């Protein structure tokens, strides 16, 4: 199967994750996809293929030369719940001409270059796009496709010398649970790479420190005609908390190393309202300060409206892997060398997000992040340049050959 057909097959599986199910994997489509992948890995000749009850896949390509480290490649099977991943209808835009791309003529959904200027960097290339109703799933099915395709190529070309290669595919990365049941010791790699980055050339070993925050506000509901000094409207108090946070410290107003508070959910009635936030910052001290600020706002509300009016639950999700990678920078230098060897300019930059590799690095498996090639992840405007996917495969092949 060629690389494009493989990717198109992968995105036919609906693997949207869902943090509300409290299951692993969180949705049945992920296990369906995992079974397909496990069978495919066996068919192409991978060894020790394992699929556990939590939906984690591991496999081995044995070494054909001695004295090399065991290198891992990891990608995740789920797609983000931010946009639908059901009934994806991809199509290929051949020889992109640099103009706006009409994704869905009937519904007038257009990917405009004025809003997505990165498109202009792919003039003349073939792009895989959506029909404007779903995401594409290149995050991270492109990464899986690249790893499987590279392993298949190595199996078909035994003259290429390499050490032992370990492959791992995880569920539920998009809801922060991808590393929950990943057995680093059993995986047995000296170091690894997540193929989970964006545009061609991206190489990342810094990521956000991340936490989730749930604030529940309790109110009192009575008939509005007799509410004087009796009603406590939880929604209004929740809005008060939201507007007390710095207006400009949100995702749409921050970039590079700037952190943020991000309100991702609000559900409420007069009697009870829930605010759901994610907190992000590259700097550990500022990260801790952001959590303390939310706790301070909850205490402030409770002083005004009475103890117990608002409750807060904070949960750390992952930390900046930089402190774990810097002592072993050779794992980053190997990728830079591989990229340059295949004609890709490395773009070393911080991740404004996270990967499974962040947590795995803290568990003893150094795990920088390499581009998978897609753009506009988590969006109906997601697209994948085919050349970027092919170059990612070449980077994998070169990484395992570098002695």
For residue 165, give the H/E element and its range.
Answer: strand 165-170
Within 10 angstroms of residue 157's Cβ, the number of other Cβ atoms is 9
Cα within 13 Å of Cα(56), Cβ side:
19
CA angle 209, 212, 217 (to 5 degrees): 145
Number of residues written out for the chain: 403
3-state secondary structure of 203: strand
Q: How far apart are CA 147 and CA 74, in angstroms?
A: 8
According to DSSP, residue 3 is labeled H
Q: Dig out the tokens for 196 from the structure.
A: 């989970």
Backbone angles phi, psi at 195, to 5 degrees: -95, 75
Parallel, antiparallel, or unpaired for β 384-385 and 127-129? antiparallel
Q: How far apart are CA 90 and CA 59, in angstroms?
A: 29
Q: Has 78 been annotated as catalytic?
A: yes
Q: Which of 40, 146, 173, 196 is catalytic?
A: 173
Q: Which of 40, 78, 356, 394 is catalytic?
A: 78
Strand partners, 214: 276, 313
Environment class of 287 (CB within 10 Å of its CB; exposed 0-12, middle 13-18, buried 19+): buried
Q: How far apart are CA 72 and CA 201, in angstroms?
A: 19
Q: How far apart are CA 372 and CA 247, in angstroms?
A: 33
Q: How far apart are CA 336 and CA 329, in angstroms?
A: 11
- Measured CA to CA in angstroms, residue 17 lies from 38, 81, 89, 366 at distances of 19, 6, 19, 26
Of 63, 78, 59, 92, the closest CA to residue 11 belongs to 78
Q: Has 180 been annotated as catalytic?
A: no
Residue 32 CA, distance from chain mean position: 20
For residue 324, give the H/E element and its range.
Answer: helix 322-325
121: left (phi over 0), alpha (psi -120 to 50) or beta: alpha
According to DSSP, residue 257 is labeled T
Residues that are catalytic: 78, 173
């Amino acid at each position: 199967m060629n690389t494009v057909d493989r990717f198109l097959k992968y995105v036919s599986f609906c693997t949207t994750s869902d943090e509300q199910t409290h299951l692993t994997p969180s949705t049945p489509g992920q296990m369906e996809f995992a079974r397909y992948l496990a069978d495919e890995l066996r068919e192409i000749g991978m060894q020790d293929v394992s699929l556990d009850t939590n939906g984690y896949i591991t496999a081995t390509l044995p070494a054909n030369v001695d004295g090399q480290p065991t290198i891992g490649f990891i990608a995740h099977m789920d797609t983000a719940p931010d946009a639908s991943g059901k009934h994806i209808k991809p199509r290929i835009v051949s020889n992109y001409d640099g103009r706006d791309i009409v994704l869905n003529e009937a519904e007038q959904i257009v990917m405009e270059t004025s809003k997505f200027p990165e498109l202009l960097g792919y003039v003349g290339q073939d792009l895989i796009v959506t029909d404007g109703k779903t995401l594409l799933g290149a995050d991270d099915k492109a990464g899986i496709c690249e790893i499987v395709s590279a392993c298949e190529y190595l199996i078909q070309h035994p003259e290429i010398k390499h050490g032992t290669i370990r492959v791992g595919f995880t569920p539920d990365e998009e809801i922060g649970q991808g590393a929950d049941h990943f057995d680093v010791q059993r995986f047995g790699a000296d170091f690894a790479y997540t193929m989970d980055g964006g545009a061609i050339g991206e190489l990342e070993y810094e990521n956000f420190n991340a936490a989730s925050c749930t604030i529940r506000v309790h109110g009192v509901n009575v008939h509005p005609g007799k509410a004087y000094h009796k009603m406590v409207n939880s929604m209004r108090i929740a809005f008060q908390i939201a507007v007390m946070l710095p207006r400009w410290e949100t995702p749409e107003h921050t970039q590079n190393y700037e952190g943020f508070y991000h309100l991702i959910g609000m559900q409420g009635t007069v009697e009870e309202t829930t605010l759901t936030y994610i907190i992000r910052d590259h700097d550990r001290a500022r990260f801790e300060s952001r959590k303390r600020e939310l706790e301070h706002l909850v205490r402030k509300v409770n002083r005004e409206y009475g103890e117990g009016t608002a409750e807060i639950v904070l949960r750390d999700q992952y930390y900046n892997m930089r402190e774990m990678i810097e002592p072993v920078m050779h794992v980053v230098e190997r990728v830079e060398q591989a990229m340059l060897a295949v004609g890709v300019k490395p773009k070393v930059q911080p991740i404004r997000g996270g990967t499974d590799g962040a947590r795995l690095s803290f568990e003893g498996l150094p795990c920088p992040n390499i581009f998978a090639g897609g753009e506009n992840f988590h969006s109906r405007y997601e697209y994948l340049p085919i050349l970027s996917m092919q170059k990612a495969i070449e980077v994998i092949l070169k990484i395992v050959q570098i002695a």
